[in-house]
């Protein structure tokens, strides 16, 4: 079974207006996002360039947050809204952490855009500064040759990362896949190639919200390798 994100991402949306180049980023920097926001409600209808799908996602999230169905949500986007992501935490999530939700949202957006994105709205409020610009966010992803390390696993909430430890301690050929929505799984195989084929096939069959990404083969991270 594919392991799902602890935060039930009711929207788990990544929108790509254009195909992006191969990503150079592979792991989380675990940087702390800038969570500053204003007291002004974010108005999707008055935001130039915001795609219809993004408007609907934000509007729905705002309504659910006001009704108490969501503990929080974060909407991030690239300049011009060519790439955007919205993640939300449902009511009753005892492990909800806004900073970590923002991290995974920014990671998903940065993966699609290739550069750091901005947080546009937090819990339905506008984050724009007096200058009219959205706060600059730190890079959330980086690439380096390395062994599998669950502490820098991207897209996956911090409280869920420890559940991936079985992959590191397993022996024999295996492959690990994840999605920008935080889902993940791994499969063993008689050979590395067989493990990759099985992992990606099972991931594709189970993931409905985001494309599958081959992250590691055996203990070696391959996601983002050039």
Q: Is the pLDDT of residue 150 over 70?
A: yes
Q: Is the pLDDT of residue 151 over 90?
A: yes
The tally of domains found in the chain comes to 2
**Of 157, 184, 159, the residue nearest 74 (C-alpha):** 157
Sequence-distant (6+) residues with CB within 8 A of 193 are: none
pLDDT of residue 9: 43
Asked, for residue 195, whether it belongs to a domain, the answer is yes
Asked, for residue 124, whether it belongs to a domain, the answer is yes
What is the rounded average pLDDT for all residues in the chain?
90
Same domain, 161 and 111: no
Instruction: State which of 92, 122, 141 marks the end of a domain.
Output: 141
Asked, for residue 151, whether it belongs to a domain, the answer is yes
Q: Which residues of 21-42 are buried (b: 16+ CB within 10 A; e: fewer)?
A: eebebbbbbebebbeebeeeeb
DSSP string of 78-116, one letter each residue: -GGGSEEEEEEEETT-TT--HHHHHHHHHHHHHHHHSS-
The band of 7, judged by pLDDT with boundaries at 50, 70 and 90, is very low
Q: Is the pLDDT of residue 23 over 70?
A: no
Asked, for residue 80, whether it belongs to a domain, the answer is yes
Same domain, 150 and 212: yes
Q: Is the pLDDT of residue 210 over 60?
A: yes
Instruction: State which of 106, 141, 176 marks the end of a domain.
Output: 141
Same domain, 173 and 211: yes
Q: Is the pLDDT of residue 178 over 90?
A: yes
Q: Is the pLDDT of residue 6 over 60?
A: no
Asked, for residue 7, whether it belongs to a domain, the answer is no
pLDDT of residue 17: 37
**Of 74, 95, 71, 94, the residue nearest 84 (C-alpha):** 74
Q: Is the pLDDT of residue 132 over 80?
A: yes
| 144-157 average pLDDT score | 94
Distance CA 200, CA 212 (A): 7
pLDDT of residue 4: 53
Asked, for residue 5, whether it belongs to a domain, the answer is no
Same domain, 55 and 126: yes
| 190-206 average pLDDT score | 97
User: What does the pLDDT look like over 30-58, one tens digit per residue?
Assistant: 999 999 999 999 999 999 999 999 999 99
User: What does the pLDDT look like over 52-99, one tens digit per residue?
Assistant: 999 999 999 999 999 999 999 999 999 999 999 999 999 999 999 999
Asked, for residue 226, whether it belongs to a domain, the answer is no
pLDDT of residue 225: 62
User: What does the pLDDT look like over 113-126, one tens digit per residue?
Assistant: 999 999 999 999 99
Tell the residue number behind the tokens 């219809």, with chain if given: 52
Tell the residue number behind the tokens 């492990």, with chain if given: 95
Q: What is the span of the domain harbouring residue 36?
A: 13-141
Tell the residue number behind the tokens 């084929």, with chain if given: 197
pLDDT of residue 115: 94
Asked, for residue 6, whether it belongs to a domain, the answer is no
The answer for 220, left when phi > 0, alpha when psi is -120 to 50, beta otherwise, is beta
């Amino acid at each position: 079974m594919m392991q799902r994100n602890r935060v039930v991402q009711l929207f788990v949306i990544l929108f790509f207006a254009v195909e992006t180049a191969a990503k150079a980023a592979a792991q989380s920097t675990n940087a702390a996002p800038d969570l500053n926001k204003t007291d002004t409600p974010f108005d999707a209808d008055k935001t130039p360039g915001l795609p219809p799908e993004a408007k609907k996602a934000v509007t729905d999230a705002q309504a659910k947050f006001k009704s108490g169905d969501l503990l929080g949500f974060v909407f991030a986007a690239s300049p011009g809204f060519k790439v955007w992501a919205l993640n939300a935490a449902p009511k009753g999530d005892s492990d909800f952490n806004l900073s970590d939700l923002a991290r995974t949202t920014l990671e998903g957006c940065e993966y699609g855009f290739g550069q750091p994105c901005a947080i546009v709205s937090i819990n339905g409020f506008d984050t724009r500064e007096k200058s009219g610009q959205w706060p600059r966010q730190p890079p959330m992803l980086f690439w380096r040759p390395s062994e599998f390390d669950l502490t820098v696993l991207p897209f996956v909430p911090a409280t869920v990362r420890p559940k991936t430890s079985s992959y590191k301690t397993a022996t024999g050929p295996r492959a690990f896949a994840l999605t920008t929505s935080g889902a993940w799984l791994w499969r063993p195989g008689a050979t590395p190639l067989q493990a990759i084929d099985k992992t990606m096939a099972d991931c594709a069959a189970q993931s409905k919200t985001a494309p599958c990404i081959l992250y590691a083969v055996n203990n070696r991270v391959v996601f983002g390798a050039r």
